[in-house]
Structure 1
Amino acid sequence: MDQLNLRHLYYFWVISREGSIARASEVLELAPQTLSGQLATFESAVGGLLFQRERRKLVLTDLGKTVLGYANDIFALTGELNETLRLAPAERPLTLSAGVSASIHKLIAYYLLQPAMALSRPVQLECRTGGTEDLVLGLKRRELDVVLTDRAPGMDEHGSFTVHPLAGSSISLFASADLASRLKKGFPESLNGEPLLANATDAPYFERLMNWFSLKGVRMNVVARIDDSALIKVFGREGLGVFAAPTVIEQEVCRQYGVQCIASIDEVKDELFAITRGRNLAHVGVRAICEGKRSFNTSE
């Protein structure tokens, strides 16, 4: 093989990423027969099979794993080059596509994105909310520039991404004024048997909170599971139960919803991360999010 056919290498890379010729053909907008023929041509050029079929699935051969390792490096670099070229010239508005995990409070998401919006260069922000797994897939497909999440996915499952720790917070418990006033006395034992409004998005901090309750011997009564951060606070305001939220937005939660803080729990943390492709943060908006200072002062 005198010269590597990069187009064929790219087709192989997409097939390995998508897991089947059918799904890869949709991404590449090619007929499956055409893509299968291109793969066969590439296999002939490299001198061996790159995939073998096992139970109707494509599985990489040893040669395929070797080629994929190089392909990952090659297309990671070309992707970074494309992003760098896409950002020039400096006076053009900068497009930033950000994925935000649905379990992150929207006010906190705003503070995480704020450094990018504060750039001197105009920024056109596109936000997508959803589950972390789906958002990381969008990042993998280059539909997103960055993913903000409260959970770091297993990198072995998702390829060569970089996880950047961002600001975190302890967790506080809130309730209507009457309920909070009663539960502050004798906390946390006062919570036993009291109504709890649960976060239905399986936010990691809520799982940690439930573990903390268990360690303290506290058993609350879950009366509702709500996946909307605003709706759960409305229920709490109406006296239907206790809810949890990050301490950094305590003042705003109390002001906006007319509730009171029962207590802050330093042992339970809401940890936040940004996930990016590669380590070279060519996108200045992504770099601002990952490296910039942000303020969580909601009293301003």
Structure 2
Amino acid sequence: MENLNLRHLYYFWVISREGSIARASEVLDLAPQTLSGQLATFEGSVGGRLFSRERRRLILTELGHLVQSYADEIFELTGELSETLRSGPEDRPLSLSAGISASVHKLIAYYLLDPAMKLRRPVQLECRTGRTEDLLMSLKRKELDVVLTDRMPRAESPERFAVHPLSQSTISLFAAPALAEKLRPGFPGSLNSQPLLANATDAPYFQKLMNWFNLNNVRMNLVARVDDSALIKVFGRDGVGVFAAPTMIKDEVCRQYQVSLIASLDEVTDQLYAITRSRNLAHEGVRAICEVRERLL
């Protein structure tokens, strides 16, 4: 065959990742008819069908799987090269775009980002908060360099992200001083029927907390869901209810929000992750964040 057309290979690769020409056309900003024609041309050049159709889905053929395996390596390497070149000379500022899940406590997010800010070269940091799913879409589009989150990507996600475990902390319960003082005697039975503030009910640590309540025959009254780690502490400070936060930042939480510790729950933990497009960390700032694991675990 003639020299491989890398643009056609890239179009095929995006289609294989998205699972349909319609979705791939949105990613590539091309008309579906144009993309379909480019795919047909590429199939002609490689000498066989790369997809078979099952209902409305495109399924990779044996040849398609073979080509995709090479394409994965090629475009992972080109992505790393692009990030390396984007970093530029050491005397130029390093651009770092980080996505932070709204449910991640901002004090911990600061600790995780801090190693990148302490690199020898200056760093221009851009932070974006939001839902993990939305941030991962931005990571996929190369709008972000890393996503800091408290949950793994969904198992059914077609994207191939690299997941780097970071810090793990037990969970503690906090409340306004008067409420905390009332609840410490007789803990955990004292929590029964007391108001509870949930940071995010789908967060992994929250499910563990609910299981701990059930095992200890505790029935709290969920009064609010506040999907922002700073705002929930403001509600807690004003006596609206009890809230949970990682034990590793308990002193800062109490000092900054004038709340008091009720108790620490050794059986309930919160795990944080850094998610990147590639296991090979070419970006110096992202590498510094991921290497913080040994210091925080």
* TM-score (normalised: structure 2): 0.92
- The CA deviation string for residues 164-213 of structure 1, in whole angstroms up to 9 with x for no partner, is 22122111111111111111001111111211112235221111111111
**Is 1:22 the equivalent of 2:30?**
no
Q: Which amino acid aligns with 2:35?
A: L
Q: Which runs of 5+ in 1 are unaligned?
A: none
The residue number in structure 2 matching 1:255 is 255
The residue number in structure 2 matching 1:205 is 205
Give the root-mean-square deviation of aligned CA atoms: 2.0
Task: Note if contact 1:175-1:242 (Cα within 8 Å) is conserved in structure 2.
Answer: yes
Q: Which amino acid aligns with 2:56?
A: R
Q: Which amino acid aligns with 2:122?
A: P
Relative distance call for 1:168 and 1:229 in structure 2 (3 A) is same
Alignment of 1:1-300 (within 5 A): 1-154=1-154, 157-200=157-200, 202-292=202-292
Relative distance call for 1:240 and 1:215 in structure 2 (3 A) is same
- The CA deviation string for residues 224-260 of structure 1, in whole angstroms up to 9 with x for no partner, is 2221222222222222211111112212221222211
Report the Cα offset of residue 118 of structure 1.
1.1
* TM-score (normalised: structure 1): 0.92
Task: Note if contact 2:104-2:149 (Cα within 8 Å) is conserved in structure 1.
Answer: yes
Distance in 1 between the 2:76 and 2:115 partners? 26
Relative distance call for 1:160 and 1:225 in structure 2 (3 A) is closer
Range that drifts further, 65-74 or 194-203: 194-203
Identity among equivalent pairs (%) = 73
Report the Cα offset of residue 150 of structure 1.
0.9
State the SS of the aligned residue for 2:157. Answer: helix
Task: Note if contact 2:166-2:293 (Cα within 8 Å) is conserved in structure 1.
Answer: no
State the SS of the aligned residue for 1:279. Answer: coil
Distance in 1 between the 2:166 and 2:257 partners? 27
Task: Note if contact 1:115-1:293 (Cα within 8 Å) is conserved in structure 2.
Answer: no
Distance in 1 between the 2:226 and 2:159 partners? 32
Task: Note if contact 2:17-2:159 (Cα within 8 Å) is conserved in structure 1.
Answer: no
Task: Note if contact 1:200-1:225 (Cα within 8 Å) is conserved in structure 2.
Answer: yes
Q: Which amino acid aligns with 1:260?
A: S
Q: Which runs of 5+ in 2 are unaligned?
A: none
Q: Which amino acid aligns with 1:256?
A: Q
Task: Note if contact 2:99-2:146 (Cα within 8 Å) is conserved in structure 1.
Answer: yes
Report the Cα offset of residue 141 of structure 1.
2.5
State the SS of the aligned residue for 1:179. Answer: helix
- The CA deviation string for residues 16-39 of structure 1, in whole angstroms up to 9 with x for no partner, is 223332332333233332221111
**Pairs aligned (count):** 296
Report the Cα offset of residue 272 of structure 1.
0.8
Task: Note if contact 1:111-1:295 (Cα within 8 Å) is conserved in structure 2.
Answer: no
Task: Note if contact 1:102-1:201 (Cα within 8 Å) is conserved in structure 2.
Answer: no
- The CA deviation string for residues 31-58 of structure 1, in whole angstroms up to 9 with x for no partner, is 3322211111111111222123332232
Q: Which amino acid aligns with 1:78?
A: T
- The CA deviation string for residues 84-114 of structure 1, in whole angstroms up to 9 with x for no partner, is 1221211111111111111101111111111
Task: Note if contact 1:111-1:294 (Cα within 8 Å) is conserved in structure 2.
Answer: no
State the SS of the aligned residue for 2:67. Answer: helix
